[in-house]
Amino acid sequence: MDNTDPDAVRVFSLNCWGIRYLSKYCSQRYHMIGELLCKEKPDIVLLQEVWSEKDYLFLKKKLSCTHPYTHYFKSGVIGSGLAIFSKHRIHDTLLHRYSLNGYPYMAHHGDWFGGKAVGMAVLSLGSLTANVYVTHLHAEYNREKDSYLAHRVVQAWELQQFIRHTSAGADVVILGGDLNMHPQDLGNRLLRSYTGLRDAYAETAKFDGCEGGVTLIADNPFISQKEIFPFEKGIRIDYILFKGSSRAEIGCDSMSTTKGSVADSPFPFSDHEALTAELKLNSAQTGNDKPCKTPDSAGNLAELVDIVTEARTEVKVGLHCAERMRYTAARTGVMGLALLFLELAIAAVPWFALGAEQPFPQTSFYLLAALCFAILLTTFLLYIFYTIEIKSLQGAEDQMRLAVGSLHEKLRGFAATQPHCASMEPPEGQEPPARDPEE
């Protein structure tokens, strides 16, 4: 195997919208995607919404010559929809399923059944180790009244935790996927601020694609205006993020997106636009001397405190909503139980009053009993589900509280060590300030 470090790595990311029997022209579009990847030959391919394993196996066979290393991340009822194809050897993989994934009774949205997750693959880029992540977060169906905001914030929180804790030994970190968040949304700021990941679109020296880098565009025939309202030109929710390390510097030389229409085809590759980023790699010079912290470090810490506090507030709002829904489910269940006891009491009337006839027709009686049992079963399942949601939200809120405390400690430590980093001499005629004996 060649251990020569590559000068650049091309990363491709696409939400394939591959819902069999529901997504339009699904089979034809997978053929188009396969042809595109065979032609362009990116080093790393990160795909989302490959819901059918048959479609993944089709792409695996199609790309067997150009991308011999591949992995399909399985999760949930119908799968995570995440897949990775690579020219470089995959040494290890790991999947983390998000603790919150929407609601099972919102079947028309389907996020819960997909088991949204983040998949990681450890690759070799010559002598460098690259941790490559692919993810798909919960969709935003109504921006003005977003019922899933707390879930998406928790997913972003778990995503940044997963990346931070698994990428410590990596030389290069790359994340691609459908984050379902605008660039300045809370979850996006939380992810980038905590991990230090940089946005390829914001960092690129050359861009060719839709204006503003949008990946859901109004010109796409698979997109309805309702999905992008009130943004007339479209929204940017798909990303390629990256960062280097002390061993490797990384930057984005160029980036491009598809533009809806495809030559010689009546429809595009997907309802999302595909992203391709050309990432340039350089061996970094390492040294033993670490520079002193700058005032910007304190500013970054303070900004991060504000972001985590904002995220914690949104999680608390979601927690109150979940508690209210659990209370409603419990109250409805009690009403169903009371109705069932009332029916049993009515059924017992003939036993205590000899010769009395049943006051209700048997058909109505059985239908009412079936309704009571249905109410009890449904409310019981909802109570369990909301309890799980509450536990997940409480766990995330506790983690954020600890994180805010830790960040405050770092800020205080930075303020205490700031004089030691200053290299300025005291003004002429003044003596240096006396040091604390405990320092």
Strand partners, 332: none
Q: By the 8 A CB rule, do 47 and 14 touch?
A: yes
Which residues are marked as active site? 272
Instruction: Indicate left, alpha or beta for 213 from its phi (over 0: left) and psi (-120 to 50: alpha).
Output: left
Q: Which of 181, 236, 237 lies closest to 210 in space, CA to CA?
A: 236
Q: In 128-171, where do the E strands start and end?
A: 128-136
Give the span between the Cα atoms of 75 and 54, in whole angstroms: 15
Give the span between the Cα atoms of 331 and 333, in whole angstroms: 5
The number of angstroms, rounded, from the C-alpha of 319 to the middle of its chain's C-alpha atoms is 19
Instruction: Indicate left, alpha or beta for 406 from its phi (over 0: left) and psi (-120 to 50: alpha).
Output: alpha
- Torsion angles phi and psi, residue 196, rounded to 5: 80, 10
Q: Which residues contact 64 (CB under 8 A, 6 or more apart)?
A: none
Q: By the 8 A CB rule, do 252 and 242 touch?
A: yes
Give the span between the Cα atoms of 393 and 383, in whole angstroms: 15
Neighbours of 114 (CB within 10 A): 24
Q: Which of 393, 326, 390, 383 lies closest to 150 in space, CA to CA?
A: 393
Tokens representing residue 25 in the block: 């022209």
437: helix, strand or coil:
coil
